[in-house]
């Protein structure tokens, strides 16, 4: 279960200094320990990663999967270690190579994918949705293994517009990645 730990304002520098193998995220200075994903989550993540990777072959954008830190800098945060927002989405797509560093993605990814799990669903649908919108993520895909669908939120004039729901058996496409066609039947094929 996610658990907020130690009541202080955390930065990415504080998190990076932790000497353990646990997964954490920081949102607005609050740190949360994350549970390991289950079978359905991993199956969906792996198949989406495979299809996106195949599409991006010989294209400038890159896909990364968790655990991979995404450090979101506010205007007054000049260095990654000062950032009060560092998350580990299930998948991200980044089309600006300058954002990719050894420590992770420093800046806003073009597409963020979160796969809902019982311990993270509310956080993904409310807290992270707001965070990704504020930091200008062009598309946020929320994947429900239970409902076997992907909710696509696209940024329009600085806000996420009306959600587009793409269901199992349909093809997920994105204007950000022309030609991308994710077969959701394959994505959800191993979900129990």
Question: Using CA atoms, how far apart are residues 119 and 135, in angstroms rounded to an integer?
Answer: 24
* pLDDT, tens digit, 9 for 90 and up, residues 90-146: 999 999 999 999 999 999 999 999 999 988 999 999 999 999 999 999 999 999 999
For residue 19, the model assigns a pLDDT of 83
* pLDDT, tens digit, 9 for 90 and up, residues 136-165: 999 999 999 999 999 999 999 999 999 999
Q: Tell me the C-alpha to C-alpha distance, in Å, between residue 177 and each of 60, 93, 126.
A: 10, 10, 26
Model confidence at 58: pLDDT above 60: yes
- What six digits make up the tokens of 114? 């979160």
Tell me the mean pLDDT in the region 8-34: 92
- What six digits make up the tokens of 81? 């270690």
Are 40 and 118 in contact, with CB atoms under 8 Å apart?
Answer: no
Can you name the residues that pair with 153 across neighbouring β-strands?
Answer: 140
Q: Collapse the DSSP code of 85 into the 3-class scheme (helix H, G, I; strand E, B; otherwise coil) and give the result.
A: coil
Model confidence at 2: pLDDT above 50: no
Closest CA to 166 of 189, 186, 182: 182
Domain residue limits, the chain:
37-187
Domain 37-187 fold: tt1808, chain A (3.90.1570)
Model confidence at 3: pLDDT above 80: no
Give the H/E segment covering residue 53.
helix 39-56
* Pairing relationship of beta strands 70-71 and 86-87 according to DSSP bridges: antiparallel
* pLDDT, tens digit, 9 for 90 and up, residues 64-89: 999 999 999 999 998 999 999 999 99
Closest CA to 85 of 93, 73, 76: 73
Q: In angstroms, how far is CA 174 from the centroid of its own chain?
A: 16
Q: Where are the beta strands (DSSP E) in 53-148?
A: 62-65, 70-71, 86-87, 91-94, 100-101, 104-106, 111-115, 139-144
């Amino acid at each position: 279960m996610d658990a907020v730990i130690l009541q202080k304002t955390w930065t990415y520098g504080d998190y990076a200094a932790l000497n353990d193998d646990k997964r954490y995220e920081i949102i607005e200075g609050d740190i949360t320990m994350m549970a390991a994903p289950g079978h359905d989550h991993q199956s969906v993540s792996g198949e989406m990663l495979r299809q996106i990777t195949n599409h991006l072959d010989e294209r400038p954008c890159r896909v990364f999967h968790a655990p991979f830190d995404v450090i979101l800098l506010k205007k007054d945060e000049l260095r990654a270690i000062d950032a009060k927002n560092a998350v580990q989405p299930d998948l991200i797509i980044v089309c600006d190579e300058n954002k990719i560093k050894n420590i992770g993605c420093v800046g806003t990814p073009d597409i963020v994918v979160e796969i809902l799990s019982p311990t993270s669903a509310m956080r993904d649908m409310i807290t992270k949705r707001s965070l990704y919108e504020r930091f200008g993520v062009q598309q946020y895909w929320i994947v429900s293994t239970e409902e076997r669908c992907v909710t696509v939120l696209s940024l329009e004039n600085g806000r996420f517009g009306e959600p587009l729901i793409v269901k199992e058996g349909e093809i997920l496409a994105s204007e950000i990645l022309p030609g991308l066609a994710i077969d959701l039947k394959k994505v959800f094929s191993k979900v129990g």
